[in-house]
Structure 1
Amino acid sequence: MLAARPRFYRAGRLSPLTTLAIRGVAVLLLVGIALGGHWIERSGLRDNTDGAVSFLDIVYFTVITVTTVGYGDIVPVSDAARMFDTFVVTPIRIFVFLIFLGSAYSFMLRQGWERWRMGFIRRELKDHVIVCGYGRSGSAAVSELLERDHPAERIVVVDTNADRLRLAEELGVATVEGDATHNKVLEIARVETARTVIVCPGRDDTAVLIILTCRRLSPQAAVAVSIAAIENELLARDAGASIIVNPVSFGGQLLAQCTAGPHVADYVADLVTRNGKIELRERAVRADEVGSAAREVTSGQIVRLYRGDRAISIDEPDAQHLQAGDLVIELVEPRRRSSTP
């Protein structure tokens, strides 16, 4: 499993308008500092128009100085006023410029660029995996996919929790904030071109609704769902789930099986995780294997054969002649992973 670098993280909750208001207050504060300094040192200023420097003249001079307009009708003549402009007003001028530049980038350039970039990525997205729900099961599924060298750019996480999505983005995957039971949200995730949809929202009723939405938008995609209650498995199957995983019943079965020996759980963990000593792999029968018996295949140990919708044990007669289009489940040792496609 991938281990993220531990750090304290809290997503920002400020709206764009709030952020803009804070920046506006910062600009007013900086201008106020310059205004106060000019008012204190007003004796060091000279008005070339009427010779008198009023408060309105100070406001006018401060604004045109901070904004670098500088008409020259009011000028600093004393050393103190010149030093104040040099070492205080000049940094204020730079900070104000950076605030305006950052605001323009954040609210105009960056948002436009991000919309264009996200649109381009969405248009190119296909044969990807969508993970609906980034709780414990969803995050574990994403980490295992990445551990199995699945490209991060071909994983899309959908969740309503912005904090969870920020954690997912740290792994390099794309995210969509929204309710996966809604058509629009899954359309943004390009479910119509997805290869697999993993459904693990943490609630069985929500999972069934997501399955129905997926099947309406993408009948061809494989849908794997995590169901907690055994009585809801049939509902998930009727809704269109291709694969149903019940972590509660599976965990109970594994615990019961451990009474027959202390190493059963360790072996099963090896089978289902990338870092195990042995791995389960599903693949199509290759052309050079057509006509051979399942036991004769040397790339790995075939433990089950699928022909259409029928599961075939390797001891059955139909497993003695592999056919084109068959799918096999085989055990592969780590040293053989790099030599088999």
Structure 2
Amino acid sequence: MLLAVGLIGVALAVHWFDRDGLRQSSGAPITFPDVLYFTMITITTVGYGDIVPVTTEARLFDALVVTPIRIFVWLIFLGSAYDFLFKRVGEQWRMNVIQRNLDGHVVVAGYGTSGAEAVTELVSRGAKPETIVVIDDSPAALQAAEACGTTVMAGNATRNAALEAARIDRARALIVAAGRDDTSILIVLTARRLAPNVPISVVIRSGDNEAIAYQAGANTVINPASFAGLLLAGSTHGAHIAEYMADLAADDGRVGLNERLVTADEVGKPLAEIRTGLGHRIYRGGRMFCFWEPEAKQLEAGDTIIEVVPREGVRAVP
């Protein structure tokens, strides 16, 4: 708009100072309102002929300067109309199509270092990038996430509207990596109210806030500093302990952790006899039992098994 006003101002100024080169069909003297009228009509249309340039200089100015200004002004207005109307309507239509198809997806709130690593790991484990929805209010972060093929949504994940737009109630899981503990916990609270059953994993950097994150509704709380501490402490008890722990967590390791439900043919058998991997734990009725405990001697229907399997045996993310 400023550029358009500036171009019109240039034409108006030149027409006013060269008003002796203009003539009215009525023969009346040229006044400033006449110059303003002639300038606006000439720039927006080809004119009505009631005021015309009569000198060579005035005609050359209209031909060589006003005509390009007319073209630029129209392009500016058309570009603005496209940006404010067509582009936004098209973007809204595209988002509506995306939202209708969102089901069983993973929502990532925050695309900083942890969020980006989580997306990379999800994709390397078999998740299709388009089934990952990244919410962030940083254009640079959204651009980086979109370059990975993910679905991106600009917004503040602490607000209901952003999570509702990402169809959090139909998501398979939510990963919260906002970069600040208070923001992450607020996202967890908002998401838990909108989707009571969605699994929520959150990155918390302060140990004092881990309990608060669980109280807010998080199912899993990850503390990067604590995990690094585990690896460092493990390395002091054996040269290969930290390596094995990293091997379990990374996608490019030789082994991996797998979580699955017990199968019908495994019911009644001990955890040690499963054929898919090495059983470590079972979860039954909200309680956890390790492989040496009596409850692990006989698997029951509905048990969830945590096992260590060869990397190719890790179930791919749908």
TM-score bracket relative to the smaller structure: 0.7 to 0.9
Which residue of structure 2 lines up, in the alignment, with residue 128 of structure 1? 105
Shift of 1:91: 1.6
From 91, 94, 102, the counterpart of 2:68: 91
Kindly report which structure 2 residues correspond to 1:90-129, keeping only aligned pairs within 5 A, or say none: 90-129=67-106
Which residue of structure 2 lines up, in the alignment, with residue 328 of structure 1? 305
Kindly report which structure 2 residues correspond to 1:150-169, keeping only aligned pairs within 5 A, or say none: 150-159=127-136, 164-165=141-142, 167-169=144-146
CA deviation string 1:162-210 (max 9, x = no partner): 6645554554333352252x54553344332222122334454554444
Q: What CA distance in whole angstroms lies between the structure 1 residues aligned with 2:47 and 2:317?
A: 73
Which residue of structure 2 lines up, in the alignment, with residue 145 of structure 1? 122
Aligned pairs, how many? 317
Change (3 A) 1:255 1:84: same
Q: What CA distance in whole angstroms lies between the structure 1 residues aligned with 2:317 and 2:127?
A: 16
Amino acid at match of 2:35: I
C-alpha contact 2:258 2:314 (8 A) present in aligned 1: no
Q: What CA distance in whole angstroms lies between the structure 2 residues aligned with 1:330 and 1:161?
A: 39
Aligned-pair identity in percent equals 48
C-alpha contact 1:133 1:158 (8 A) present in aligned 2: yes
C-alpha contact 2:125 2:317 (8 A) present in aligned 1: no
Q: What CA distance in whole angstroms lies between the structure 2 residues aligned with 1:29 and 1:206?
A: 44
Q: What CA distance in whole angstroms lies between the structure 2 residues aligned with 1:338 and 1:206?
A: 32
Change (3 A) 1:49 1:328: same
Structure 2-normalised TM-score? 0.78
List runs of 5+ in structure 2 lacking aligned partners. Answer: none
Structure 1-normalised TM-score? 0.73
Kindly report which structure 2 residues correspond to 1:9-20, keeping only aligned pairs within 5 A, or say none: none
Question: Residue 62 in 1 paired to residue 49 in 2?
Answer: no
Question: Residue 174 in 1 paired to residue 152 in 2?
Answer: yes
Q: State the SS of the aligned residue for 1:260.
A: coil
CA deviation string 1:187-244 (max 9, x = no partner): 3443322221223344545544443433333221112223334454444334433222
Which residue of structure 1 lines up, in the alignment, with residue 171 of structure 2? 194
Q: What CA distance in whole angstroms lies between the structure 1 residues aligned with 2:47 and 2:180?
A: 65
Amino acid at match of 1:142: V
Shift of 1:266: 3.5
Q: What CA distance in whole angstroms lies between the structure 1 residues aligned with 2:227 and 2:316?
A: 32
- Of the structure 1 ranges 133-142 and 327-336, higher mean CA displacement relative to structure 2 is found in 327-336
Q: What CA distance in whole angstroms lies between the structure 2 residues aligned with 1:273 and 1:190?
A: 29
Which residue of structure 1 lines up, in the alignment, with residue 11 of structure 2? 34
RMSD value, Cα? 3.7
Amino acid at match of 2:102: L
Shift of 1:95: 0.9
- Of the structure 1 ranges 295-304 and 134-143, higher mean CA displacement relative to structure 2 is found in 295-304
- Of the structure 1 ranges 100-109 and 163-172, higher mean CA displacement relative to structure 2 is found in 163-172
C-alpha contact 2:133 2:152 (8 A) present in aligned 1: yes
Q: What CA distance in whole angstroms lies between the structure 1 residues aligned with 2:141 and 2:65?
A: 43
Shift of 1:98: 1.2
Q: State the SS of the aligned residue for 2:201.
A: strand
- Of the structure 1 ranges 43-52 and 259-268, higher mean CA displacement relative to structure 2 is found in 43-52
List runs of 5+ in structure 1 lacking aligned partners. Answer: 1-22
